[in-house]
Amino acid sequence: MSTLKGLYSTFVIYFIIPFYQFTSYHTSVVLCTQNHQNCLLHGHFSILHCFNNINECETIPEACKGEMKCFNHYGGYLCLPRSASVIPAHDPPNQIPPGLDNQPSEPYNPCPAGYEPQGDSCVDVDECERDEHDCQPSQDCINTEGSFTCQCPGGYRKVGTECIDIDECRYRYCQHRCVNVPGSFSCQCEPGFQLAGNNRSCIDVDECNMGAPCSQRCYNTYGTFLCRCEQGYELGPDGFACKDIDECSYSSYLCQYQCVNEPGKFSCICPEGYQLLGTRLCQDINECETGTHQCADGQTCVNIHGGHQCVDTNRCQEPYVQVSDNRCVCPVTKPGCRDLPFSIVHRYMSITSERSVPSDIFQIQATSVYPGAYNTFRIRSGDDNGDFYIRQINNISAMLVLARAVNGPKEYVLDLEMVSVNPLMSYQTSSALRLTVYVGPYAF
């Protein structure tokens, strides 16, 4: 019969367990075409074999009778006991299904699977290059000898049949920040740091060597930097720029006379006639010693606070006559000397303004002492406002005291008189000290 042609090309072998149960059933073999006609009955079991698989168990009403159960398979169905198990066998090699024997067949390949003949030898087929693989689009095809493998690219892992991205950031590969990207990752550093050579660790950036915007001094710290200023400057609100400190505005005691602010510092200056002592104090310049005075011949230079005075060498006035430097005598032989001190000695001194009072400023000392004489001291003239007084120390000395604070520049000419009385000899005489007091213009 023509329907038997190619039977073994699609024949399926079934093992029925247990076998002894088949002895009590009458079955038959049925071989048919797709429309279930021209069927062949053979043996003690039935096989319905067709080339276009149809589930006869669903399409044929009561396909199996009695206690038989319908089992569908490719090309037919089986009626088997309900306790049977069905195991399909592989198709026999090189078999041609019925009706397909006239189709062209593939050329014969004497080489193993994955190889192809080349001359007298077999060479590997690169399935990846020929696109003859079944790797997923997310996978990489890797050719092997006689076959191929499907692998996930770096940075991906296989889940089922697909490759999904590995989140490397979960494994803390980066010291600071990790940014995951498809198939890879990148490390980023916090501000003030940069990636090390391993592209994972972060190392400190020395901003001071990279143009940090500090106007004066820059100090690198871990992860950042600090700006500092030179002495005499202070850091501005932006933390970068330095501005000059006006030290003179902070205190009026920085300089004894006047403070002058300069970029980054300050300096003290003194008035004319003074010079700087150290950095802040003012000291009077002694023009008489330095030779910077303008005194003429016949004059004596007298130094005072802030300047000097030129006085005549001979300061004796009638009826006095000069007997030595600074000393004048009024001879008793002259009628005009009767009520005048016998001698006058000229002295000069300078004091500062705003001097605290009472203040001892000059000591008077008798140069000649007579036995039995009693000495008293007084201000004969020159103290019209009562700015001074005499405090007698003992019989031969007294102290001139500044009673009230005075401000200069000012000049006093005081005649300090010592009156000597000898009661035993009924003798009285006096001598004067003409003291010129210069009050300087400043308190220094």
Summarize pLDDT for 102-148 with one digit per residue, the tens.
555 667 778 888 898 988 899 999 999 999 898 988 889 999 999 99
Looking at the structure, give the CATH architecture of the domain made up of residues 321-439. Sandwich (2.60)
pTM greater than 0.75: no
Beta bridge partners of 184: 181
* pLDDT tens-digit series, residues 395-427: 999 999 999 999 999 999 999 999 999 888 788
CA 156 to chain centre: 40
Q: Enter the tokens of residue 182.
A: 């498809």
Encoded tokens for 175 = 């010291």
pLDDT at residue 109, rounded to an integer: 78
Sorted by sequence, the CB contacts under 8 Å of residue 346 that are 6+ apart come out as: 315, 326, 327, 328, 434, 436
192 falls in which pLDDT band (50, 70, 90)? very high
DSSP3 helix / strand / coil % (the chain, rounded to 5):
10, 40, 55
**25-39, 275-289, 350-364: least confidently modelled range:** 25-39
Across 307-318, average pLDDT: 93
What is the pLDDT at residue 254?
93
Secondary structure (3-state) at 249? helix
Domain ranges of the chain: 2-81, 207-244, 321-439
Higher pLDDT, 408 or 13: 408
Mean pLDDT in residue range 427-441: 94
Six token digits for residue 86:
């069905």
Mean pLDDT, range 237-264, rounded to an integer: 94
CA–CA–CA angle 280, 273, 356 (5° rounding) = 65
Distance CA 230, CA 241 (A): 11
What confidence score (pLDDT) does residue 105 get?
60
pLDDT band of residue 85 (cuts 50, 70, 90) is low
- At 71 the pLDDT is 81
From residue 108, alpha-carbon distances to 97, 116, 243, 263, 410 in Å are: 18, 10, 95, 101, 139
End-to-end CA distance of the chain: 148
Say yes or no: do domains 207-244 and 321-439 share a fold.
no
In the prediction, which pLDDT does 432 show? 95
Average the pLDDT over 316-334 and give the result. Answer: 92
In which band, very low, low, confident or very high, does the pLDDT at 65 lie, cut at 50, 70 and 90?
Answer: confident
CATH number of 207-244: 2.10.25.10
8 A C-beta contact, residue 351 and residue 361: yes
* Top-ranked range on mean pLDDT: pick from 64-73, 89-98, 279-288: 279-288
Q: Which of the four pLDDT bands, split at 50, 70 and 90, describes residue 156?
A: very high
- Residue 40 pLDDT grade (very low, low, confident, very high; cuts 50, 70, 90): very low
Confidence check: pLDDT of 19 > 50? no
Residue 346: its pLDDT value, please? Answer: 96
Which pLDDT value is given to residue 62? Answer: 82
